[in-house]
Amino acid sequence: MKNLRRKTLAAASSVTLGVGLALTGGLTPAAAAGPDATYLVVAPLGGKADRAAARVAAANGTVVARYDQIGVIVARSTNPNFVTDVKGVGVEAAASTAGLGTALEEGETVEVPAADVVNSTGDPTAEPMYGQQWDMPMIGVPQAHAVNNGRPSVVVGVLDSGISSSHPDLAGQIAKDKSASCVGGVPDTTEAAWNPTSSDHGTHVAGTIAAAVNGVGVTGIAPGVKVAAVKVVNDDGFIFPESAVCGFIWAADHGMQLTNNSYFVDPWELNCRNDPRQRPAWTAIHRAIRYSQSKGVLNVASAGNSNWDLAGKITDDGSPNNGTPETRPDLGNECRVLPAEVPGVVTVSAVGPTGQKSYYSSYGKGVVEVTAPGGDTRFRTQGAQSTIADGILSTTFNTATRTNGWGYKQGTSMSSPHATGVAALALSAHPRMGPLQLTLFLQLTAVAQACPAGAVYNPVPLIPAGPNAYDATCSGGKYYNAFYGSGMVNAYNVVK
């Protein structure tokens, strides 16, 4: 299968509606002879990582962060032989995270005059721009809000690029006492640290989940809940494994019941546990997620924008995405998208305004739990050109002008927060649900959707990449299949 991947955090298209709102030992220390690099050091589970920390020091390294909860250390060293020197009793594995980042790619941003925003029409009983949010009626949000629009005791961790704390639709929605930047693997709770610097992606995601009903802009699915900014994207647009580990641990230890994860870890979209260099990151992420689940957190993640069948054999010829791509044919279950394919994570595919699978959305029977609106700006023209209003409208932040606004993006990055928002409503109505119960509830209350007609689903034959570039085959029946899992999440069904 040809890899026509779109980065999970990428917004394939975007338009911003700007309104100008301001805003222990035994080793001989090696000589420091190489560049300063970051490493993940994995210790045995079940106790403090003291021995591993001692070996880090003996290998001429410095411990940056210790996560004894999961036996993982983040270290830095200029010792070019650090990975070899640190090995021994107390260390199971170690690897440099250099080159293990995922570039955050953004789409074009076009600002619209403030008057155009003010004059937007929509439901006069709701938000001014609500009429442009086709995704909300699709999942029963109006009916849900008449029953329950969320409770502030529910806090959703948005592991992403930060949230604009000055945005008028989000300023009162953020749990600032639970927000932090995890860039570099170490929490920083200063407000400036967890605000966006190079991307408004996290701001857009947060708006879908919890934008306020305040007579301004748009509405979120669960405007009564709180969101916490857990920043994992650095200023260069990379998501390193240590940042993701920090994010999961921070959310688990600070009372968050849900996290949204619209990203994947590592430059290899498929991270292979049988690869010695990739396995430490694989292990660390799995441990962090298992720990968060043990603390009562349900993690929701995007399936990805590669149009891959994640349940089948995959040829990846687009990774690593921050270097020269390699062709890795016929990758199986030993290679998975992280965090989406970690057991217990709710994986979400995307649909457009017709309710059918978005052309870019990855899928997979036994992988995708549910589906949700993510936008599809190509379906109307069969791929010839984009119709931006068929994307997802939410809150934005122009990182160049430092102004807040509203705009469109599309991707499974946008479908995941829809499912997270519905889960937040479910927890508001049923606060005693744990992660497993909540997962099952989301599936049972989803609206079943059958596979599209025909042997091959081909929604965009006129797309420039070629007539068969986005062919996909849906397997399964009406009540569970590869494209939609158990079906479309439904906000009303979880609160009624």
Kindly report which listed range (5-14, 169-178, 188-197, 413-422) carries the lowest average pLDDT score.
5-14
Please check the confidence at residue 11 and state whether its pLDDT lies above 80.
no
The pLDDT, as a whole number, for residue 7 is: 41
In a domain, 5, yes or no: no
Same domain, 161 and 77: no
The answer to whether residues 341 and 334 touch, using CB atoms and an 8 Å cutoff, is: no
Of 62, 77, 96, the residue at which a domain comes to its end is 96
Same domain (yes/no): 51, 156: no
> What is the C-alpha to C-alpha distance for residues 369 and 220, in angstroms, rounded to an integer?
22
- Both 92 and 110 in one domain: the answer is no
* DSSP secondary structure code for residue 109 in this structure: -
Q: Is the pLDDT of residue 249 over 60?
A: yes
- Residue 10 inside a domain? The answer is no
User: Which residue matches tokens 């057991």?
Assistant: 343
Percent of the chain scoring above 70 in pLDDT: 87
The domain boundary, picked from 76, 96, 116, lies at 96
* pLDDT of 2 higher than 50: no
- Domain residues for the domain of 297 are 15-22+102-495
- Intra-chain end-to-end CA distance of the chain, in Å: 43
The answer, yes or no, to whether residue 79 has pLDDT greater than 90, is: yes
Q: Which residues, at least 6 apart from 472, have a Cβ–Cβ distance to it below 8 Å?
A: 307, 309, 357, 363, 456, 457, 458, 483
Residue 27 falls inside a structural domain: no
Q: What is the mean pLDDT of the chain?
A: 88
For residues 3 and 159, give the distance between their C-alpha atoms in angstroms, rounded to a whole number.
26
Domain contains 1 = no
Residue 173 neighbours by CB distance under 10 Å: 28
Residues belonging to the active site: 160, 201, 413
Q: 248: domain CATH number?
A: 3.40.50.200
Q: What angle do CA 338, 188, 397 make, to 5 degrees?
A: 75
Per-residue pLDDT for 395 more than 50? yes
Q: Tell whether 457 and 347 lie within a shared domain.
A: yes
Say how many domains are in the chain: 2
User: Nearest Cα to 225, choosing from 292, 153, 291?
Assistant: 153
Band of the pLDDT at 3, cuts 50, 70, 90? very low
**What is the structure's pLDDT at 319?**
78
CATH classification at residue 89: 3.30.70
Same domain, 113 and 58: no
Considering the domain architecture, whether residues 332 and 456 belong to the same structural domain is answered as yes
The answer as to whether 30 is a domain residue is no
Residue 117 in any domain: the answer is yes
Q: Mind listing the pLDDT tens digit for each residue in 308-352?
A: 999 999 988 877 766 778 888 999 889 999 999 999 999 999 999
Boundary (domain end) residue, out of 96, 112, 143: 96
Do 79 and 112 belong to one domain?
A: no
User: What beta strand segments (E) does 53-102 contain?
Assistant: 61-67, 72-77, 93-96
**117 shares a domain with 252:** yes
Which segments within 119-179 are labelled E, that is strand?
Answer: 155-160
* Neighbour-count burial for 410-435, b at 16+ CB within 10 Å, e otherwise: bbbbbbbbbbbbbbbbbbbbeeebeb
pLDDT-derived band of residue 99, with 50, 70 and 90 as boundaries? low
- Residue 16's DSSP bridge partners are 111, 407
Same domain, 42 and 159: no
297 secondary structure, DSSP code: P
